[in-house]
Amino acid sequence: MTDRLPSVTIVRRIKAAPAKVWAAITQPELMMQWWGPDAGPTLSVVADVRPGGRFSVVFRLLNGDEHNPTGIYQEVVPEKTLVFT
């Protein structure tokens, strides 16, 4: 049923050079600065940015709950496309 999951589409224009945005979404130390749904801290980021590579983020919400989303990079086109599960 995975091909029938609902989808959420978010379109965002960011006023910065593609290289800068790419760095922010692929370099762990930069990812830590923006990842997360509230002001709670991001504790660790692993990002093996290549097709088949793994990512794993641990972040803590303000309410103390910790979450660890993980996934696999599927498509990696520097400064253009980053697809991950």
Partner 1 sequence: MAKYAVSDLDRTFSALADPTRRAVLVRLKNKPGLSVSELARPFSLKLPGMTKHLDVLSDAGLITRTKTGRTVAVNLSAAPMREAIAWLNRYERFWTVSLDRLAVLVEEDGEQ
Among 41, 44, 48, 67, binds partner 1 (CB under 8 A): 67
Beta-sheet strands, E only, within 1-85: 42-47, 54-60, 66-67, 70-77, 81-84
If one asks whether residue 15 binds partner 1 (CB under 8 A), the answer comes out as yes
For the bound state, the minimum distance from the C-beta of residue 83 to partner 1, rounded and expressed in Å, comes to: 15
Separation CA 76–CA 49 (nearest Å): 7
Q: How far is the CB of 68 from partner 1 (least distance, A)?
A: 11
Q: Which of residues 26, 27, 28, 30 is near partner 1 by CB under 8 A?
A: 30
Smaller CB distance to partner 1: residue 22 or 52?
A: 22
Q: Which stretch binds partner 1 (CB under 8 A): 25-33, 45-53, 70-78?
A: 25-33
Distance CA 67, CA 19 (A): 29
Structure tokens at 35: 């990842």
Q: Cα(first)–Cα(last) distance of the chain, in Å?
A: 15
